[in-house]
Amino acid sequence: MKIVHADDIEWKRGLEHRGGTFHYRHYFDGEPNTPGNFQFNIGRTQGDFNSPRHRHNFEQFRFQVDGAMDFDRNGKMKAGAFGYFPEGAPYGPQSSEGTSMTAVLQFGGASGSGYLSRAQVKAGQAELEKIGKFEGGIFRRNDDVEGRRQTDGYQAIWENHNNRKLEYPKPRYRDPVMVDPSHYEWVPTGKGVSEKLLGVFTERRAQAFQVRLDAGASWKGPGRSVYLVVNGSGKVAGESYAALSGVYADEGDAPEFTASDETEIMILSLPNLAGIELPTRETMMSAAE
């Protein structure tokens, strides 16, 4: 189990392969080169941030902490909104309405395509910048270099890392699923404990829900999940928590929260990918020849 607090994490510049100003606080990583690798951050964008319409071969949960993000034809996410962005489904273009702060969990999904680590993305970007440049979320290859003239920035990095063409999964959902939790009712599940189930997604059962604890109430959560304290204070696993504290519980963990003040928690449970294996790099390279 891992516990971190927002004020202990420095803001860093990121998403240079997209466009505009983006900084992030990094909370948790999964295990690289596994189907279930993941990354959880809180990102902060400025009004100049933009990203072209694109899609991924991984999945995303988003929780809008503050401000608003505009996804054009897919709609806007305002403060308090939750979104599920499925692999293979295009979304955007994306822009920030002024300063915006979003908690994002990106993770390998039901297709078994996995998820590149931040270090792998940075290394791939640096390598590609020797033969082209990233502009507005697109990688543009230099005129004297063979290959596709322009490609989505992340796709170019993924293809460079894996030495093969990215084949996007067939989308299980046509569009992102955007949820307004304020329209849900709290359902009592124990003494001083209520929940809002926001959604269970794909046959691998990635799940998102919220829990509210009255002052003095206690609650144990599931393993293989990321927890973000939305507001409130108390103790988890014997350590104090406050707004924007994060917890990662591995398989078999059961973090217990005890609230000093009324507390709301967002819980993002990762999918069960039992039986899925990533191809080795050697296998991928042979397939590309």
The stretch 104-131 carries a mean pLDDT of: 93
The stretch 34-62 carries a mean pLDDT of: 93
Say yes or no to pLDDT of 260 above 50: yes
- Average pLDDT for the chain: 93
- What is the per-residue pLDDT for 47? 83
Bigger pLDDT: 288 or 81? 81
- What is the per-residue pLDDT for 217? 98
* Distance, CA of 192 to CA of 194 (rounded, Å): 7
* Cross-strand bridge partners of residue 263: 213
Longest dimension (CA), the chain: 68
Does residue 154 sit in helix, strand or coil?
A: helix
Does residue 203 sit in helix, strand or coil?
A: coil
* Distance, CA of 181 to CA of 132 (rounded, Å): 43
pLDDT tens per residue across span 200-217: 999 999 999 999 999 999
Say yes or no to pLDDT of 272 above 70: yes
**What percent of the chain has a predicted confidence (pLDDT) above 70?**
95
Going along the chain from its start, the domains and CATH numbers come out as 185-269 (2.60.120.10)
Burial of residue 225 (number of CB atoms within 10 Å: 0-12, 13-18, 19+): buried
pTM: 0.90
pLDDT tens per residue across span 174-205: 999 999 999 999 999 999 999 999 999 999 99
Say yes or no to pLDDT of 240 above 60: yes
The stretch 63-92 carries a mean pLDDT of: 97
* Distance, CA of 259 to CA of 75 (rounded, Å): 35
